[in-house]
Amino acid sequence: MPPSDQVLTVAQMQAAEQALIDGGESVDSLMLKAGRGAAEWIFRLAVDRPVTVLCGPGNNGGDGYVIAETLRAWDLPVTVVAPLEPATDAARNARTAYWGGFSAVGHGGVFVDCLFGSGLSRPLGDELAGLVRTLAGTHASCVAVDLPSGISSDDGVLLNEDLPRYDLTVALGAWKFAHRLLPARKAMGELRLVDIGVARVDEAARVISRPALAAPTQDAHKYTRGLLAIVEGPMPGAAALAASGAVHAGAGYIKVLGEASGLPVWAVADPRPLDEALEDRRIAALLVGPGLGRDGAAEAKLEAALAFDLPTLVDADALHLLNPAMVAGRSAPLVITPHAGEFAALAQAFGVEAEGRIDAVRALASAVGGVVGAKGPDTLVAGSNGRLAIAPPASSWLSTAGTGDVLAGIIASRLASGDDAFAAACHGVWLHGEAARRAGPAFSASELAAHVSGAYAACL
């Protein structure tokens, strides 16, 4: 099987295909593997319904002819709609090898979109967009091969409006960013991956998968497991929620630096002035931001916290205060976890200008000199060295107040436990998503936090 966690850009996919060709494959042989692999999934979906394959001019269209011929040979009624002539040798060869018929309107049954794949370079013209919509509307099920036509592979942007929703998208060779990012992901239905022999690409982005975590060693004590200090602000509920997430995610000791009213009994408050409290050499990681406020006092706390150069997670209010001077000269790991609004403020503060979300997240990580967990329904984690990971789809019930504080607590807990910053962010995002899955519908942030230990148990 192909590495099922890697996500490739179009350029990386082309390089991977070239490596296969250098190793003795041809475009035609790869197209046969891709088309036949896709045909198997379509055959299962179709059962005995007729299939209409829309074939474009490039190699995605070539895949379509292979699919049509494969299904025809398996005795399914198949027709091809071909508004454009094949323009590549492989697509021409595949069309020549197709022995079935053509039609202008299709068959009903299953619509298979092989108009454009990763070679789409601009929005569909009105005529082609109309044809895709009509065929989708006149068939009971819709399948996209590699990508739905009209979607930009490298960033998941919809280049046309009113694109159809697909029941199934069969990715060829590797996942592309569009399979993992919104809004494209929403249009794709079920996702399946066909193996054409693509190897692991070291610098590829990854989908975050279940981490392997360890239980504490036999001789562990609370400090070896990690002391996490959470800087409290005027809204102590946020620090308490972060502490609840943190206690279930690995750290052995959670201390809240402040008055800590309303804290659970197992968390320890340290009400001394922050500078003094931060002198505790046993602190393994710091969390600053949840409930911190955005006034002068908050800014002073953030500066003090960052000056200690400990592994630190900056979240929430603190992200509106963070600036380049505060992170200059730091050497300890830093993680920031902005949602879209906080990201925009940070991009301005750090002078990040980039086209597209992925480049922007990478550029911010580089400017901050740390790891960015860009939160949202399709969370991205970027390291300052260009590493990128994409969260698997998570429960939409996470869209409720306080879940971000819980996530901050979990990631900070992983930092205190000794994960490096990138791993802490990835492990934390996975634990948070899994806790939400276990919490079911309509949970509160504290109920979410209580499910983190169940998520942890799944990683042992």
Ligand X SMILES: NC(=O)C1=CN([C@@H]2O[C@H](COP(=O)(O)OP(=O)(O)OC[C@H]3O[C@@H](n4cnc5c(N)ncnc54)[C@H](OP(=O)(O)O)[C@@H]3O)[C@@H](O)[C@H]2O)[C@@H](O)CC1
Known binder of ligand: residue 154? no
Residues 58-97, one symbol each (x = binds K ion by CB under 5 A, - = not), give ----------------------------------------
Nearest one of 319, 203, 220, 301 to 257, comparing CA atoms: 301
Question: 135-138 long-range CB contacts below 8 Å, 24 or more apart?
Answer: 135/52, 135/54, 135/81, 135/105, 135/106, 135/111, 136/111, 136/164, 136/165, 136/166, 137/164, 138/105, 138/106, 138/108, 138/111
**Which listed option, K ion, ligand X, none, makes contact with residue 118 (CB within 5 to 8 Å by class)?**
ligand X
Known binder of ligand: residue 60? yes
Least distance to ligand X from the beta carbon of 76, Å?
A: 20
The span of 26-34, 125-133, 137-145, 276-284 binding K ion (CB under 5 A) equals 137-145
Nearer to ligand X, 60 or 244 (CB): 60
**Which listed option, K ion, ligand X, none, makes contact with residue 217 (CB within 5 to 8 Å by class)?**
none
> Tokens standing for 429?
């995002």
CB 63 within 8 A of CB 191: no
Q: What angle do CA 116, 119, 123 make, to 5 degrees?
A: 65
Least distance to K ion from the beta carbon of 212, Å?
A: 36
Say whether the peptide bond before residue 183 is cis (omega within 30 degrees of 0).
Answer: yes
Q: Does 113 bind K ion (CB under 5 A)?
A: yes
Q: Which distant-in-sequence residues (6+ apart) come within 8 Å of 367 by Cβ?
A: 324, 350, 351, 352
Nearer to ligand X, 124 or 254 (CB): 124
Distance CA 410, CA 9 (A): 30
Least distance to K ion from the beta carbon of 144, Å?
A: 5
CA distances from 190 to 75, 167, 321, 422 (A): 25, 6, 41, 29
The span of 87-95, 142-150, 400-408, 450-458 binding K ion (CB under 5 A) equals 142-150
Known binder of ligand: residue 62? yes
Nearest one of 262, 254, 244 to 451, comparing CA atoms: 244
Known binder of ligand: residue 160? no
The span of 111-119, 207-215, 313-321, 378-386 binding K ion (CB under 5 A) equals 111-119
Known binder of ligand: residue 291? yes
Least distance to K ion from the beta carbon of 28, Å?
A: 19
Nearer to K ion, 184 or 238 (CB): 184
Sign of CA dihedral 443, 447, 450, 452: positive
Nearer to ligand X, 160 or 312 (CB): 160
Burial class (CB in 10 A: 0-12, 13-18, 19+), 108: middle
Nearer to K ion, 144 or 335 (CB): 144
CB 166 within 8 A of CB 148: yes
Distance CA 160, CA 243 (A): 45
Least distance to K ion from the beta carbon of 113, Å?
A: 4
Q: What residues line the site for ligand X (CB under 6 A)?
A: 17, 27, 30-31, 34, 56-63, 87-88, 116-125, 146, 172-173, 196
Residues annotated within the binding site for (6S)-NADPHX are 59-63, 117-123, 146, 238, 291, 339, 405
Residues annotated within the binding site for AMP are 375-379, 404
Which residues make up the interface to K ion (CB under 5 A)? 113, 117, 145, 149
